[in-house]
């Protein structure tokens, strides 16, 4: 390793990302404090304090990711992938049943979600794969994309079995968009689209009546006014009643009275929107936008094509959950269990987000070094 990452260089060149992440984290803890007030904490620390602790652990993990050259990380992508597959299988076998699905691996007092780590590993896997595949006139074919597509399908399949549909969808979206950015030709994309469009009705016909019904409810929650539909209506009331300036911190009646389901995880944004209003929401979304734009800037400045691909992957890594989660709380998207990065409560998610940021900074600080 020729060059060490210097702190002043990091601050000088990467401040937008550091700033955005810090502000988002503070917003998240504030929001959690409000959302969890009044509920009895079940763990060894209050929820917001646990989140802060995870953030510190996340900073540590981000620094570890940053210290080792990103090319090294990419080199070992498949090993990491193997570990993830083993963990995912293990979680299916021994995973303790938590709220109806098996997602966690328990290591003493710490529970870890392998599906989160898998999201991060998939970024490296896609980069590693395309590193060795030449692009003719800057284009790649479907055959070039087969291996990472299969690798993605395998892990998403294992995650669906948990069952954690939200994480599986996220991995498909993140890996899928990264693969597309690896230069798939327009023809290839058309082929995929055609096969999908042709295959869907066939698959639909093969489904049983109750399975169809479940899928319809999934995409149109209004069909189930008692479950998901009710949650969405309550979330919209929370968001809408926030108005321009919000009801004020700790003043959100919807969330304080517990009408909102999952208000410290999937619906954390609704709590924020009720208490901080339109202005607060725009600031929060602005921070995400800043982080994403920085990611795109990193991609555009990188000389190394693999670094560009990796940076775009990280952008996708943050873009999809933000759009889906916020869209869900605003009634624009189906209700899926997808967390809002940095804001929703969840140690594994926060940790892995910090690792993704670490990877992004890693690329940026080493952009001239090859």
User: Under the criterion CB under 8 A, does residue 125 sit at the interface with other proteins?
Assistant: no
* One of 238, 287, 336, 356 touching other proteins (CB under 8 A): 238
Least Å from the CB of residue 50 to other proteins: 25
User: Under the criterion CB under 8 A, does residue 267 sit at the interface with other proteins?
Assistant: no
User: Under the criterion CB under 8 A, does residue 38 sit at the interface with other proteins?
Assistant: no
Listed in sequence order, the DSSP H helices in 105-207 are: 114-131, 142-160, 165-181, 186-206
* One of 58, 62, 95, 277 touching other proteins (CB under 8 A): 277
Residue 341: closest CA among 16, 4, 20, 70: 20
Interface pattern 77-116 for other proteins (x via CB under 8 A): -----------------------x----------------
* Residues binding other proteins: number (CB under 8 A): 65
* One of 76, 147, 191, 236 touching other proteins (CB under 8 A): 236
Residue 271 to residues 120, 143, 234, 281, Cα–Cα distance (Å): 28, 46, 11, 11
CB-based burial, 3-31: b 16+ in 10 Å, e otherwise: eebeeeebeeebebbeebbebbbebbbbb
Show contacts with other proteins in window 176-235 (CB under 8 A).
181-183, 222-226, 229-230, 233-234
User: Under the criterion CB under 8 A, does residue 305 sit at the interface with other proteins?
Assistant: yes
Residue 21 to residues 89, 250, 269, 353, 357, Cα–Cα distance (Å): 32, 23, 16, 10, 8
For residues 199 and 214, give the distance between their C-alpha atoms in angstroms, rounded to a whole number: 19
Pairing mode, strands 96-98 and 101-107:
antiparallel
Show contacts with other proteins in window 42-71 (CB under 8 A).
69, 71
Mark the segment that binds other proteins (CB under 8 A) among 11-19, 53-61, 237-245, 343-351: 237-245
Which two structure tokens, joined as six digits, stand for 115?
């599906």
Nearer to other proteins, 52 or 122 (CB): 122
For residues 1 and 3, give the distance between their C-alpha atoms in angstroms, rounded to a whole number: 6
User: Under the criterion CB under 8 A, does residue 142 sit at the interface with other proteins?
Assistant: no
Nearer to other proteins, 80 or 324 (CB): 324
Distance of CA 287 to the CA centre of its chain: 16
Positive or negative, the CA dihedral 365, 367, 369, 370 is positive
Q: Interface residues with other proteins (CB under 8 A)?
A: 2, 69, 71-72, 100, 131, 135, 138-140, 181-183, 222-226, 229-230, 233-234, 236-244, 253-254, 257, 259, 273-274, 277-278, 281-282, 285, 288-289, 292-293, 296, 299-300, 303-306, 308-309, 312, 315, 319, 323, 326-327, 330, 332, 369-370
């Amino acid at each position: 390793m020729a060059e060490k990452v210097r702190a002043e260089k990091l601050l000088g060149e990467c401040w937008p990302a550091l700033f955005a992440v810090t502000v988002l984290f503070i917003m998240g803890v504030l929001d959690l404090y409000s959302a969890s007030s009044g509920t009895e904490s079940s763990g060894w620390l209050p929820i917001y304090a646990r989140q802060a602790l995870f953030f510190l652990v996340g900073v540590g993990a981000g620094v570890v990711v940053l210290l080792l050259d990103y090319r090294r990380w990419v080199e070992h992508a498949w090993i990491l992938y193997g570990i993830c597959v083993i963990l995912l299988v293990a979680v299916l076998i021994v995973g303790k049943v938590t709220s109806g699905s098996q997602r966690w691996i328990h290591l003493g007092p710490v529970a870890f979600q392998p599906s989160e780590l898998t999201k991060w590993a998939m970024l490296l896997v896609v980069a590693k794969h395309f590193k060795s595949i030449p692009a003719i006139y800057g284009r790649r074919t479907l055959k070039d994309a087969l291996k990472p597509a299969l690798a993605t399908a395998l892990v998403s399949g294992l995650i669906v079995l948990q069952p954690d549909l939200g994480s599986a969808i996220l991995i498909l979206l993140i890996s899928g968009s990264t693969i597309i950015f690896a230069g798939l030709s327009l023809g290839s994309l058309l082929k995929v689209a055609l096969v999908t469009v042709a295959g869907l009705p066939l698959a639909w016909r093969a489904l049983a009546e109750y399975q169809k019904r479940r899928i319809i409810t999934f995409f149109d929650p209004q069909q189930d006014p008692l479950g998901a539909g009710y949650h969405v209506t309550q979330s919209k009331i929370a968001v809408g009643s926030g108005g321009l300036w919000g009801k004020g911190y700790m003043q959100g009646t919807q969330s304080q009275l517990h009408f909102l389901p999952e208000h410290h995880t999937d619906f954390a944004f609704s709590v924020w929107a009720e208490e901080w209003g339109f202005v607060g929401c725009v600031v929060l979304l602005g921070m995400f936008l800043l982080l994403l734009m920085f990611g795109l800037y990193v991609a555009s400045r990188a000389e190394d094509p693999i670094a560009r691909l990796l940076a775009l992957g990280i952008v996708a890594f943050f873009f999809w959950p933000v759009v889906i989660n916020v869209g869900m709380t605003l009634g624009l998207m189906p209700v899926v269990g997808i967390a809002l990065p940095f804001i929703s409560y969840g140690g594994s998610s926060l940790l892995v987000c910090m690792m993704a940021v670490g990877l992004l900074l890693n690329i940026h600080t080493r952009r001239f070094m090859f």
